[in-house]
């Protein structure tokens, strides 16, 4: 039930497949000290025994609720696999979430984390989120602005954590895709990969395939290695900190806190706070590919701290702290984890 393959247990567990089942379970909530909603288990680290109820979200289904000559509004149940959903929208020729190809997890978990990669944030395609209040079983619709989506966060991860259960999301997709191929990093470029797999003019299918190829080359296969995805957030730092880092790592890239794309030095000077890639810092420190027991830093994506076999939660925590300590000692940056630790 978790892609990091941590061998942990919970006191109670239930798999739900309908809103009626969900309401039945939470009506009995007073019998449980803690309730945890589990999607695909791909962004969660079970560090210990869970003394409470885990609700595995299994509500399936997707339907068009609005369509015209330009757009499609697609309602997606929370238990739908996100990667399969992206593949489906691409097969229909609809644009909007193709850059989020192969992101593990479920549709319901996507807005909690405000998933983002390769130049696209979920909030750019999200219209609303439907949820159930755990304390009252009442239905509530959150418009995208209500969700307070930020960098790797949302109202569901902060103020309303543990108070609502997402049952579906509503996406706005376009029949006339405007392709985003601007993403580039130290390791790869969407445009470079596109040139290998397709000819211009590119299609939404081409962009999707380029992203899939990049992810397959750089990320661990969850069927072979225990992984929880990117463990650390890209740190937000001051211009002074950036200058200090550049003394040690002159080529480091950076970008404004509100963007996902790197910019030139003249533009970055206009911003008081900037983000730098944590993967770059870990790599520059010489930790890419380093292993200690069954824990290690994935060589081609240093944000992935993986479980090669039977690492215990304690060993995994120790390894994460080793990486954090090394980063702090060299760059005076305290890396923040973006995964959910239970």
- For 23, the domain range is 10-57
pTM of the model: 0.86
230 belongs to the catalytic site: yes
Q: Does residue 336 sit in the same domain as residue 197?
A: no
Residue 2 resides in a domain? no
20 belongs to the catalytic site: no
The 10s digit of each residue's pLDDT in 267-276 is 555 567 888 8
Task: Produce one character per residue of 106-117: b if its CB has 16 or more CB atoms within 10 Å, e if not.
Answer: bbbbbbbbbbbb
User: Which entry of 75, 188, 193, 338 is annotated as an active-site residue?
Assistant: 338
Question: Nearest 10 degrees: CA dihedral of 33, 39, 43, 47?
Answer: 30
Residue 147 pLDDT: 96
Residue 272 pLDDT: 73
Neighbour count for residue 290 (Cβ, 10 Å): 17
Q: Does residue 118 sit in the same domain as residue 203?
A: yes
21 belongs to the catalytic site: no
CA dist., res. 6 & res. 11, Å (int): 16
Residue 230 resides in a domain? no
- Mark the ranges of the chain whose per-residue pLDDT is less than 50: 261-262
The answer to whether the CB of 155 falls within 8 A of the CB of 146 is yes
Residue 265 pLDDT: 55
User: Which entry of 5, 80, 98, 152 is annotated as an active-site residue?
Assistant: 152
Residue 239 pLDDT: 86
Last residue of a domain, one of 166, 192, 218: 218
> What's the CATH number where 214 sits?
3.30.465.10
Q: List the one residue out of 213, 203, 170 whose CA is nearest residue 95.
A: 203
């Amino acid at each position: 039930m978790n892609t990091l393959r941590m061998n942990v247990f919970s006191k109670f567990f239930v798999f739900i497949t309908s809103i009626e089942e969900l309401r039945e379970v939470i009506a009995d909530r007073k019998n449980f000290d803690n309730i945890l909603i589990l999607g695909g288990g791909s962004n969660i680290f079970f560090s210990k025994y869970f003394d409470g109820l885990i609700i595995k979200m299994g509500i399936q289904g997707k339907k068009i609720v609005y369509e015209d000559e330009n757009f499609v509004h697609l309602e997606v149940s929370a238990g739908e696999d996100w990667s399969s959903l992206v593949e489906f929208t691409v097969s229909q020729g609809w644009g909007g979430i193709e850059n989020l190809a192969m992101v593990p997890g479920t549709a319901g978990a996507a807005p909690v984390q405000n998933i983002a990669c390769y130049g696209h944030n979920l909030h750019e395609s999200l219209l609303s989120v439907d949820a159930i209040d755990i304390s009252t079983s009442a239905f509530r619709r959150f418009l995208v602005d209500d969700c307070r989506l930020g960098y790797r966060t949302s109202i569901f991860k902060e103020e309303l954590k543990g108070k609502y259960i997402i049952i579906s999301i509503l996406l706005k997709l376009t029949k006339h895709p405007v392709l985003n191929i601007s993403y580039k990093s130290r390791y790869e470029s969407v445009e470079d990969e596109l040139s290998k797999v397709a000819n211009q003019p590119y299609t939404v299918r081409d962009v999707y395939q380029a992203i899939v190829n990049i992810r397959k080359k750089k990320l661990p296969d969850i069927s072979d290695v225990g992984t929880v995805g990117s463990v650390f957030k890209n740190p937000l730092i001051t211009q002074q900190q950036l200058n200090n880092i550049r003394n040690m790592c002159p080529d480091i890239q950076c970008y404004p806190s509100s963007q996902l794309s790197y910019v030139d030095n003249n533009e970055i000077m206009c911003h008081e706070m900037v983000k730098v890639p944590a993967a770059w810092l870990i790599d520059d420190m010489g930790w890419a590919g380093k292993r200690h027991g069954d824990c290690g830093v994935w060589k081609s994506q240093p944000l992935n701290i993986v479980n090669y076999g039977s690492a215990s939660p304690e060993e995994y925590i120790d390894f994460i702290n080793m990486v954090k300590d090394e980063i702090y000692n060299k760059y005076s940056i305290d890396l923040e984890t973006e995964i959910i630790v239970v």
